[in-house]
Structure 1
Amino acid sequence: MVQLGSSVWRFCLLSLPLASSLFVPQRPLVKEHEDDFTTITQNLVSDDVELNITDYTSLDEWNPTNWDYDVVIVGGGPGGLAASMSLARVARTSLLYDSQEYRNDRTRYMHDVLGQDGQVPLKFRSAVRQQIEELYPDYSYWATRKTKVTGIVPLEKGFRVYDDKGGKVTAKRVIMATGIKDMVPDKPGFAEAFGRGMFWCPWCDGHDYKNRKLVVYGKLASAIGSALNMRKLTTDITIVTGGALTKEDKEAAEARWPGWETTIKNTYKIPIRESDIARVERTTANMEPKDDEYRVHLNGGNPLVTNGIIIHVSTAQTSSLHRQLRLEMDGNSVKVKSNMESSVNGLYVVGDANNDGSTNAYHAMWSAKRAAVHAHGKHS
């Protein structure tokens, strides 16, 4: 048997047709040692992503002849679950990883979802998962609970996926339903109140505060929008702007809401407090929405007593995989095509994490369905 030197192996591997996605990290994300694994992805950063072709010790490492799954799904919320079910319906095997990091983790109840209004999110996810397990045991598989994907390496015709428990699998396609997280201000009482009377979506939570007191907290232009959205539900609204209004604040509000001053101050008589919130304090022990009441302490002036607080917060990707893969971004969102495919061929991003303009359970499920249909059609 002829032994190939390292230079010959390098030539062979470099002669392989390179996939369009090979600008992403190719260094192995798990070092293999006999019977154990040493994960090295915890500190992987976006600058640490050079292709090192010598990391592939055989042609099969680059182009496997057998795939573990048709699709790997990253994320166990509505998007990931919808992808799992859709793929099973067309006899595609999938492995779903669920790190159990959910944007609505602190939300008490789901709303505005057909058949699930008032459902506890955990119970919704559990029921869907149980249904998939019972109906499609030959196609839908699950990684150990609370397992986090730490690396995704594009291969010639698919992907190798690594997790934080030392496992690795291959799949022809990947669907990322990793979501986003709300960056709640680090102020006393905010973390405890968020999802329990403090919220950002009028459709998800607004109805619980019908005919009750409401504070809208945020930049003027955004706060006006939320106040107008809530006007049909309650007239007892106070806007808190986060500080004294600047010329730029007023110009931004006028550009978005022409004549806002007349509408807000004169027509609807909504008071505007040009102050910041120092802290919020829950004044009731019971945790049901009907019991919500908070004392909102301002940096200046008397505190406000309110039942609900609408807050405008920035968001960030929950996962760092988009940086590792160097996915094309649109602001803080992953840029996708109409079929939910990212800038890496065969890798889809669905739900809140992508940039197609919506963040809700319906969108997560619909976009996952679309990705699953396209992934199925692209299979050989």
Structure 2
Amino acid sequence: MATLCAPIYSRRPSTIAPTDYDVVIVGAGCAGLGAALVLGRCRRRVLVCDGGAPRNAPSSGVHAFLSRDGIKPQELLRISREQLEPYPSVVIRPGKVTNVSAENHGFTLIAESESGRPATITTRKLLLATGVDDELPPLDGMRELWGRGVLHCPYCHGWEVQDKALAVYGRGKMVVGLALLISRWSRDVVVCTDGPMGISANARRRLQAQGITVREEPIIRLQGNRRGDLKCILFKNGDELERDALFVHAHQHQRGTLAEQLGCRTTSKGAVWTDKYLQTSMRGVYAAGDMTPGSQQALIAAAEGTQAGIFLNERLTKEECV
């Protein structure tokens, strides 16, 4: 099997077993690249494994990212990678990590390589930054319009659709909270439940007080235009509701299985638990970005990755300076 190696910059005591890298980062989004930048500046031997397109790839722009508001997702990643070039100890390789195991030296990973042969990689520490996948409702048009006509975060996209005709899709308490939040950006908000809503009379009263109407009729599909914007919602009874955008709070699942393979603790909502140092329940394994609890925004992921890089370097240094 092929082995990916980087130049060795750090000095390690003879009691620390040699590894290919000080840190392997699985995930090349804002969290992973943020950590790589810090660790590269610390002269750490780092491998970033890029498993593919980021979660926000369908989006027309990354918003609320200070100094980069509205930048296209791929352009943000291009700039981030470019800014890693001055740090020769950081290596970025395409390929998915398929297996990980804890060893005496740290961790051994099996990853896809450019040659098509699996690569074996050893590392002292591991940072998971693989993010999550959104589980969109099985409604015709939902996936096709995702990221433009169908949106998930008002803090990311609310400004762009302010004062427009908006819809919020879902049922129960979750959709009530999202609809009330969306009403800060527009006074024309309709909740579409695609069936019985399942909320209390008090929740209905709160929606009504904000001028939010509820449509509980079954939906056939979402219809958009060629640009990928939402045009209207088509109901089974033949009604059409013209809307400019629809917000949905989609369920999520972890994008990768490495945390599960290692037995890392997860929260009741499926996020990977971390302590205040961003270390998971498995010693030596850290996590950052959307896969951890908390708000999910590109800027927050980048900041969390930066924090993880600092914590990792300080832990490595403590182990070296005995």
TM-score in terms of structure 1 length: 0.75
Residues 62 and 298, structure 2, Cα contact 8 Å, conserved in 1: no
Q: Give the C-alpha shift of residue 275 in structure 1.
A: 2.4
Paired residue for 2:298?
361
**Which residue of 2 is the match for residue 376 of structure 1?**
313
Distance 1:132 1:226 in 2: 38
Q: Given the alignment of the two structures, is residue 276 of structure 1 paired with residue 218 of structure 2, yes or no?
A: yes
Structure 1 partner of 2:241: 304
Determine which of 207, 217, 223 is the counterpart of 1:264. 207
Deviations 1:65-90, CA, capped at 9 Å, x for gaps: 32211100100000000010010121
Matched residue, 2:125: 173
State how far apart, in whole Å, the 1-side matches of 2:185 and 2:292 are. Answer: 31
User: What is residue 315 of structure 1 aligned with on the other side?
Assistant: 252
**SS of the residue aligned with 1:113?**
coil
User: 154, 166, 179: which one pairs with 1:202?
Assistant: 154
Please name the residue that 2:175 is paired with.
223
Tell me what 1:349 maps to: 287
- Tell me the residue number matched to 1:285: 226
User: SS of the residue aligned with 1:330?
Assistant: coil
> Given residue 295 of structure 1, which amino acid in structure 2 is its aligned partner?
C
User: Within 5 Å, which residues of 2 pair with 1:1-380?
Assistant: 65-133=17-85, 135-137=86-88, 139-143=89-93, 145=94, 147-165=95-113, 166-246=118-198, 249-250=199-200, 259-265=202-208, 267-282=209-224, 284-287=225-228, 292-300=229-237, 302-331=239-268, 332-355=270-293, 357-379=294-316, 380=320
Aligned letter for 1:342? Answer: T
Q: In the aligned structure 2, how far is the partner of 1:334 from the partner of 1:281?
A: 36
Percent of aligned pairs with the same amino acid: 28
Count of aligned pairs between the two proteins: 301
Unaligned residue ranges in structure 2 (runs of 5+): 4-14
- Cα deviation digits, residues 152-189 of structure 1 (max 9, x gap): 11111311111023111111101110000100122211
1:141 is aligned with what amino acid?
Answer: V
* 1:299 Cα offset (Å): 3.2
Over aligned residues, Cα RMSD in angstroms? 1.9
Deviation at 1:301, TM superposition (A): 5.4
Change over 3 Å in CA distance of 1:358–1:245 after alignment to 2: closer
Partners of 2:230 and 2:246 within 8 A in 1: no
The aligned amino acid for 1:142 is I
1:50 alignment partner in structure 2: none
Tell me by how many angstroms 1:96 deviates: 0.4
Q: TM-score, normalised by structure 2?
A: 0.88
Give the counterpart letter for 2:23 in structure 1: V
Q: Distance in 2 between matches of 1:299 and 1:178?
A: 39
Choose between structure 1 and 2: higher helix proportion.
1
| CA–CA separation in structure 2 for the residues paired with 1:174 and 1:211 | 45
Structure 2 equivalent of residue 23 of structure 1: none
The range that moved more, 115-124 or 101-110, is 101-110
Correspondence for 2:8: none
| Superposed CA offset, 1:18-69 (max 9, x none) | xxxxxxxxxxxxxx6xxx89xxxxxxxxxxxxxxxxxxxxxxxxx9832211
Unaligned runs of at least 5 residues, structure 1: 1-31, 38-62
Give the deviation of 1:140 after TM superposition: 1.0
Deviation track 1:175-215 (CA, whole Å, cap 9, x = no partner) reads 11000010012221111111111011001111111111101
Offset of residue 320 of structure 1: 1.3
1:297, distance to aligned residue in structure 2 (A) = 1.4
